[in-house]
Amino acid sequence: MAASTDADLAMRDVRTHAIGLIPAFIVCAAAVLLFGFVLPIAGYAVLAVGLGAAWLTDRSGRTSRLLPDLSLIALGQVIISTISVAADISYGNMALMGTVLALAVAVPYVLSRFVFGDRVIRFPWRTGKRWTRTQWIYLVGITVAAWLILPFYFITSGVYQNWPTVTEPDEIARLFVGVNAVGTWDELFFICTVFALLRRHFPTWQANLLQTIVFVSFLWELGYQSWGPLLTIPFALIQGYTFKLTKSLTYVLVVHLIFDAFVFMVIVYAHTGVPPIFLLTP
């Protein structure tokens, strides 16, 4: 499936005055309450205010189609908020979490495509272009960065304790699957859904900042706490910018899964001392 180009986005029949940033920010900021502080009622109230503001800006003619697009972002957040996304690798919770997160991607996609008649939400696995030498060098660079930075973060902050201790093969396998499944979902929702919908109305840098609010709030509830935002904010911004440059879900997903491979290994290492491939002692 081909990726949307900047030209495609620019030709879409939308009008967005700068005032549209207000409802967009309110809707995205609701994620702080929903996931950062786990206050669903307050978060829903903020979402309602943001959508009401989008309705007003659309009605005034300063924006167009902002309400439908923000409503898809809000709906995804509401679906996610129905469960706790704190790390729990029990079979039942993994099944529940997998179902809910899948719905948070699928429902906005179906509504956008078949109700609103749009093709904004896309999942461009194949772009028809070979990766450049710079892209390959970047993958090597982020591999080294993950090896150096993630052990320092997880061990010195103690956040590895937000994930369960795994010692049995079955537990290790479930942790591996869970970490990588959520990492894959991150790109499908935050980049291909939230970021794509926001880019329809705002310059890339503004859309990227807005999607980062939702992305980082979710990661906080997932367990990336303490001084984690100092890592997750740049990561979310870079992933959005990388997607804008490459227009490839496959590439940003590979980047994410490289980090997640080290996240998995560091969590196990911090709990058990295995595998002994990191510089910092747990």
Express each pLDDT in 112-161 by its tens digit. 999 999 999 999 998 889 999 999 999 999 999 999 999 999 999 999 99
| pLDDT over 50 (residue 11) | no
Give the whole-angstrom CA distance, residue 273 versus residue 170.
18
pLDDT (average), residues 90-94: 97
Percent of the chain at pLDDT exceeding 70? 95
Q: What sign does the dihedral 181-128-197-30 (CA atoms) show?
A: positive
pLDDT tens sequence across 160-178: 999 999 999 999 999 999 9
pLDDT (average), residues 233-261: 97
Rounded to the nearest integer, the mean pLDDT of the chain is: 94
Q: How much is the pLDDT for 4?
A: 44
User: Residue 171, class by beta-carbon neighbours within 10 Å (0-12 exposed, 13-18 middle, 19+ buried)?
Assistant: middle
* CA-wise closest residue to 134 among 261, 260, 251: 251
E strand or H helix at 182 = helix 169-186
Secondary structure class of 16 (helix, strand, coil): strand
| pLDDT over 90 (residue 60) | yes
Scan for tokens 């272009």, then name that residue.
129
Task: Compute the residue count for the chain.
Answer: 282
Q: How much is the pLDDT for 13?
A: 61
Confidence category of residue 2, pLDDT binned at 50, 70, 90: very low
Percent of the chain at pLDDT exceeding 90? 92
Q: What sign does the dihedral 237-55-45-78 (CA atoms) show?
A: negative
Q: How much is the pLDDT for 42?
A: 98
Q: How much is the pLDDT for 1?
A: 36
pLDDT tens sequence across 188-223: 999 999 999 999 999 999 999 999 999 999 999 999
Q: pTM to 2 decimals?
A: 0.94
Task: Evaluate whether 216 touches 232 at the Cβ level (below 8 Å).
Answer: yes
Confidence category of residue 10, pLDDT binned at 50, 70, 90: very low
pLDDT (average), residues 71-97: 97
Q: Which two tokens stand for residue 181?
A: 């499944």
E strand or H helix at 107 = helix 91-110
